[in-house]
Amino acid sequence: MRILGYMSGTSLDGVDAAILETDGVSIASFGAAILVPFEAEKRQTLIDATEDALRWDGVGPRPASFAAAEHVVLDTHLRAARMAMSEDGGRIDLVGFHGQTVLHRPERRLTVQLGDAGALATELGVPVVADLRQADLAAGGQGAPLVPIYHQALADRIGMRRPAAFLNIGGVANLSWFGMDGEIVAFDTGPGNGMIDLLLQSRGAGRYDEDGRLAAAGRVDQAVLDQLLAAPFFDRTGPKSLDRYDFSLATVDALSIENAAATLTAFTVEAVRIAATSLPSPPTEWIICGGGRHNPTLMRHFGARVGPWRSADDCGFRGDFVEAEAMAYLAARSTKGMPLTFPGTTGVPYPTTGGRTYLPNTLS
Ligand SMILES: Nc1ncnc2c1ncn2[C@@H]1O[C@H](COP(=O)(O)OP(=O)(O)OP(=O)(O)O)[C@@H](O)[C@H]1O
Ligand SMILES: CC(=O)N[C@H]1[C@@H]2OC[C@@H](O2)[C@@H](O)[C@@H]1O[C@H](C)C(=O)O
């Protein structure tokens, strides 16, 4: 099947769309992949919905702003599909649609991804698999991370030596570890770029710390770093998952922007170092995906504090599209009733399939 996978991550930078040819086990080929950035006004609509979601916290009627945000999600995904399909030059059989996460409260079995999968199916004329986290949460899992089974397919494709680990550094960071005997351990490690992004945005210094320049010019404040690392999240071993806004930026309020950027960059790396100590054995190397791998200050720090790493791109993968590809892969698995999540990845008690298929409405 040729499947279009979508991810719009917690950084709210845009929609990633990637086409994958797969049977849900192995990857036959990689098709077109594109990022459609959210225009400033549309991005603001999504930020408003995310802020409302945090205040709402799943209690009472859904915030009114969700409707406008779902419109933005649908519109941007349709544009992304048209661009990816015209570049790909072929038809697609199926879509894997993540939706825009605005709230994640796994302890209450609640995760909210905005988007109208039915409308997307009707507009594109193909079935859309969505609601990928719900069955896992209902069965008692964390509902995240979902990508480990796809990371495993990538590792198998290049015959990676085990133990091996993938780390996605998005708004939140998550790792997948693969042992010698097929064992998988996965969980969210802590913040990725999310807090660094929020710092710059809150101080009117742009959207993100481009090439880690501010962090490189600053000094890590050890006392503030220790305070950040004292959060109970780091005492727990996985399975565990995060909402992007679980850590407060107030801790760095008194620091200069350079020192705050340096401290938050170190926070992301130290969180991974702590996570690594709970792995059954150290990975021979780390494969890094997600936007954080573009930040040389962060990655220099990672090399010094965690271990040897390679960018996903250096392994022949598309480091900015791994999550979108994963949604295509999971969609294939969903239609076949194959498991998406496992006790080692989300803490779900047994391997669990998931996703709901929305068919195009041919009457409208
Ligand atoms: N050149 C760069 N220098 C520094 N940081 C960068 C650079 N390029 C990208 N980033 C960071 O990567 C982020 C985007 O990462 P990515 O697209 O992986 O996040 P996401 O998919 O939204 O997150 P998540 O995986 O949490 O859903 C940007 O917001 C920025 O912080
Ligand atoms: C609730 C939610 O959207 N979580 C995201 C987020 O972004 C990174 C990390 O936190 C990961 O757990 C997850 O996304 C990927 C696609 C996942 O589920 O594997």
Domain ranges, ordered by start, for the chain: 2-144+320-358, 159-315
ipTM comes to 0.98
With 0-12 CB in 10 A as exposed, 13-18 as middle and 19+ as buried, what is 206?
exposed
Distance from Cα 357 to the centre of ligand 1, integer Å = 29
Q: Which long-range contacts (CB under 8 A, 24 or more apart) does 105-112 make?
A: 105/57, 105/58, 105/243, 106/137, 106/141, 106/142, 106/143, 106/144, 106/241, 108/58, 109/137, 109/138, 109/140, 109/143, 110/58, 110/137, 111/137, 111/143, 111/144, 112/53, 112/58
Q: Average pLDDT for residues 228-256, to the nearest whole number? A: 97
Among 208, 214, 301, 317, the mutation site with the greatest number of ligand 1 atoms within 8 A of its Cβ is 208
142 Cβ inside 6 Å of ligand 2: no
Q: Average pLDDT for residues 14-26, to the nearest whole number? A: 98
**The pTM of the whole model exceeds 0.90:** yes
With tokens 């802020």, the residue in question is 51
Among 294, 297, 302, 323, the mutation site with the greatest number of ligand 1 atoms within 8 A of its Cβ is 294
Whose Cα sits closest to atom 17 in ligand 1?
291
Residue 349 to residue 357: CA distance in whole angstroms: 24
Q: Determine the pLDDT at residue 90.
A: 77
* Helix, strand and coil percent figures for the chain, each rounded to 5: 45, 20, 35
Query: Per-residue pLDDT for 363 more than 80?
Result: no
What pLDDT, in 10s, does the model give residues 50-94? 999 999 999 999 999 999 999 999 999 999 999 999 999 878 999
Q: Which CATH superfamily is domain 2-144+320-358 in?
A: ATPase, nucleotide binding domain (3.30.420.40)
- High-pLDDT (> 70) share of the chain, %: 99
Query: Per-residue pLDDT for 364 more than 60?
Result: no
Domain 159-315 has CATH 3.10.180.10: no
Q: Which of helix, strand or coil describes residue 96?
A: strand
Query: Per-residue pLDDT for 344 more than 90?
Result: yes
Q: Average pLDDT for residues 200-219, to the nearest whole number? A: 98
Distance from Cα 145 to the centre of ligand 2, integer Å = 5
Distance from Cα 110 to the centre of ligand 2, integer Å = 14
Does 159-315 match 2-144+320-358 at the fold level? yes
Q: Determine the pLDDT at residue 62.
A: 97
